[in-house]
Amino acid sequence: MEIIVVEDEVKSREGIIRLINSIDQTHKVVAEADNGYDGLKYVETLKPDLIICDIRMPKMDGLDMVYQLQKKGIHTKTVIITGHAEFEYAKKGIYLGVEDYLLKPITYDDMRKVLDKIKRKLDNEKKEKFRKEYMKKRIFESLLLGDDIDQIEMQTLSSSSSLMRNKRNVALSLIYTGDIEISESIKIERSISKFLKNLKGLQYYTTRLNSFNGIVFIVSCDQDFSQIADNIKWNLIPHLESLAERKVIFAWTKVDDLSKLNYKFEETKESLKWSLALGYNSVITPSKLANIKLKKLKYPYEIEKSMLIHIRNNDTTSLNYCLEVFLSYYKSEYYSPDQIIEVFHRLAFAILNFIKEIDYNMFKYITKKDILQSIKTSVTRYELEENFSSLINYIDEFNLKQKNNPVYSLLVRKSINFIEENYFNKIQLSDIADQLNVTQEYLSYLFSKEVGQNFTTFLKEYRVNKAKELLIETDLKIYEIAERVGYSDTKYFCRVFKEVTGFPTGEYIKVYHRRN
């Protein structure tokens, strides 16, 4: 405990401090005074856990000091030091909430018992306060999520918190941070709580929900919340952005009925997407959204056409320039967030379809990233642009990985893609030629010229490489592996395998394990 000792007799004061220090090292005397007037100032400044003060002192006695503190709303635990002659007067302290008395001369046991009693009481009060706050926070979260709560719980939140007291303004606020580390999210919630705590005349609760990337808080105040919202915008949001190391979005709405909190939460959460139209410097409110004059966002066909040409030509510089033009395109006017997301999604879909046509391996590589879904769920400009840009980045990334590979014509690339997708079936060059609308002779010539080996050899080696993977990574029998790579005749498969690798299947496994 942190303790202030107020006693006008020097020897008595020093003796009390020595007693406190000898009883428990966790008790710390943070200040001492020789009169109630100075003691009052120390208590106001230091906010100790306990005051030990004499009843009779110059300038201001102990009881008067306690009375003055209570008038200021300071209810610090107090123990009065008194002599037998003053005890009747000291009893007046009962009405002021004095916790206990110490009769002079003070013994070690007397002091220890009093300190232990106060410590237990403080601990119990702290636990009870934590329990009540936890309960109220749990009820608040249940209301946000639309969980069923009983009438008693509703009354607990309303009455104990004064949230819905008559003539008070109640507002639900959301700070969207995006997907950040839990430790950073906790720091942001604490910063919000600290900021709100320093504002006078309001009640508030803050929470973090698994279903929302940010902080939710509800505020009850006598003044118009829009004034507090402006304060948050200019004085809190910049600090939160420095903590999150990114832009955050702030939205709020009025609440008239706590039972409708889930509806208000979902509505406000949905409104966050309007940051796509408004940018980062706007506070999103229902009244602001009602007054926006929207334009229709036209699909950028010319940008799509240019991007597809640059993808086909593997022209990274021009492709990235087109990306910059597109990312500026939707910011020229106010468009609805649904239109903005639809245009981004449609362009990404067109690019993926085009890639599927010209390079199926690249398509498979990119679609593993689930870009389309990421675009659909974007809330901020940063997220939307980052998710769309990742599509272009993955194209560059794939091309970089393939840069040491020969660049094939579209016909040969499609032939190789067909092998990669159908090697386990019966494949003939004539079937692929028919699909590509070219003669078998021309495709055979082109394939051998660009790949450096004929179609049959390439298919044979591709199947054997797949068989090697199955030999090493599975417990399949040889005939099962043969079937899985397109050979119905196991003996023929074994002959081909030895021809390509130089080893029978059983020996190949032994050699592999010796080398690795």
Beta bridge partners of 54: 81
- Flag whether pLDDT at 90 surpasses 70: no
Number of Cβ within a 10 Å radius of residue 54? 27
**What are the two backbone dihedrals, phi and then psi, of residue 419, each rounded to the nearest 5 degrees?**
-65, -45
**Residue 183 — very low, low, confident or very high, per pLDDT cuts 50/70/90?**
very high
The rounded distance, in Å, linking the Cα atoms of 169 and 171 is 7
pLDDT at 142 over 70: yes
What mean pLDDT value characterizes the chain?
89
Q: Is pLDDT at 165 greater than 80 in this prediction?
A: no
Cis peptide before 105 (omega within 30 of 0): yes
Q: How do residues 53-86 score in pLDDT, each as one tens digit?
A: 998 888 888 889 989 998 898 999 999 888 765 6
How far apart are the C-alpha atoms of 218 and 168, rounded to whole Å?
13
Residue 4 structure tokens: 């202030």
Q: What is the pLDDT of residue 141?
A: 87
pLDDT at 208 over 70: yes
Q: Considering the chain, what percentage of its residues have pLDDT values greater than 90?
A: 57
Pair 218, 205: CB distance under 8 Å: yes
**Residue bearing the bigger pLDDT, 108 or 56:** 108
Residues 62, 80: contact at Cβ < 8 Å?
A: yes
| Residue ranges of domains in the chain | 2-106, 135-290, 301-401, 410-515
First to last CA, the chain: 64
List, for residues 337-377, the tens digit of each pLDDT value. 999 999 999 999 999 999 988 888 888 888 888 899 999 99
Tell me the CA distances in angstroms from 475 to 488, 505, 507, 511, one per residue in order.
Answer: 19, 13, 15, 17
Q: Phi then psi for 217, rounded to 5 degrees?
A: -145, 150
DSSP letter for each residue of 413-449: HHHHHHHHHHTTS---HHHHHHHHTS-HHHHHHHHHH
CATH superfamily ID and name for 2-106: Response regulator (3.40.50.2300)
* Residue reference for tokens 């020229």: 332
Alpha-carbon distances of 94 from 41, 87, 175, 339, 416, rounded to whole Å = 23, 12, 47, 69, 93
Determine the residue type at 21: N
For residue 101, report the phi and psi dihedrals to the nearest 5 degrees: -130, 150
The residue assigned the tokens 């070219």 is 438
Lowest-pLDDT range of 28-32, 88-92, 245-249: 88-92
Q: Which CATH architecture has domain 135-290?
A: 2-Layer Sandwich (3.30)
Asked if 81 and 55 count as a contact pair (C-beta separation under 8 A), the reply is yes
Residue 253, pLDDT score: 96
pTM summary value? 0.65
Question: What average pLDDT does the segment 254-266 reach?
Answer: 91
Please write the tens of the pLDDT for every residue from 457-503: 999 999 999 999 999 888 899 999 999 999 999 999 999 998 888 88
For 410-515, which CATH superfamily applies?
Answer: Homeodomain-like (1.10.10.60)
pLDDT computed for residue 164 by the predictor: 54
Distance CA 214, CA 209 (A): 8
